[in-house]
Structure 1
Amino acid sequence: MAGYAIGHLHDVGPGIVEYLERIDATLEPYGGRFIIHGAKPDVREGDWSGDLIVIEFPDLQAAQAWYGSAAYREIIPLRADNSRGVILLIDGVDRDHRATDVLA
């Protein structure tokens, strides 16, 4: 099942440009691809601020390998010094997942 890297970033500054110019090359060896990046949400409930980024990988192990790679670790300061937020790696669910599956 797919794994995901999710970022919720705030206060993104102009220094993020170099990070954006370099991140794609770090994703390629691990099969990562952006599925949400830069879209403005249509907020229906609650409050929202910041930017949501979702990168899909073939599985969680690929996401973990990407995040731990020398190439990505090298550019982390470009993001961390030019934004604040939360980054997480998480498993997806199978295509036949149902809401009640989490109750098992």
Structure 2
Amino acid sequence: MTAYAIAHLMPAEPHPDVAEYLERTQSTLDPFGGRFLVHGAPVEFREGDWPGHLVMIGCPTAADARAWYDSPAYQEILPLRADHIAGSVVIVDGVEPGHDSAAMGEAMRAAMT
């Protein structure tokens, strides 16, 4: 099942370390089948607010996403970003094929009665 590494990064001034991080990130993803799905596009929020930027990376599995994040190659470059841009990063599984939110709602309703 596809998994996602999602980062909510706060606004920051450009920095040479961040440029280097960007230049080197894809090569750390390649061995784990990772690819950028969202990377710095403007966020159009409909509820609440969202200061900063969204980055979403897809990997074939959560194990691949964790292995990428924990890899020596990524850990080597991570401070280039983290020292200059505050943010939060999560890894989350996607839904199974055929996911049905209506069935999920029915199960929730049944559990409440």
CA distance in 2, matches of 1:89, 1:32: 12
Residue 82 of structure 1, CA deviation: 1.2
* Deviations 1:65-95 (CA, angstroms, capped at 9, x unpaired): 0011000000110110110010111111112
Bigger radius of gyration: 2
Point out where structure 2 has 5 or more consecutive residues left out of the alignment: 109-113
The answer to whether the 8 A contact 2:33-2:64 is kept is yes
1:71 to 73, 84, 88: 73
Residue 64 of structure 1, CA deviation: 0.5
CA distance in 1, matches of 2:27, 2:41: 22
Q: Which amino acid aligns with 2:104?
A: D
Residue 42 of structure 1, CA deviation: 1.9
Q: Where does residue 9 of structure 1 map in the other structure?
A: 9
Q: Where does residue 104 of structure 2 map in the other structure?
A: 101
Residue 101 of structure 1, CA deviation: 3.1
Q: Which amino acid aligns with 1:64?
A: R
TM-score normalized by structure 2?
A: 0.85
Map of 1:11-90 to 2, 5 A cutoff? 11-15=11-15, 16-90=18-92
The answer to whether the 8 A contact 2:21-2:81 is kept is yes
Point out where structure 1 has 5 or more consecutive residues left out of the alignment: none
CA distance in 1, matches of 2:51, 2:5: 19
CA distance in 2, matches of 1:12, 1:92: 29
How many residue pairs get matched?
A: 104
Percent identity of paired positions between Structure 1 and Structure 2: 48
CA distance in 2, matches of 1:13, 1:75: 18
Higher deviation after alignment, 66-75 or 37-46: 37-46
Task: State the superposition RMSD in angstroms.
Answer: 1.5
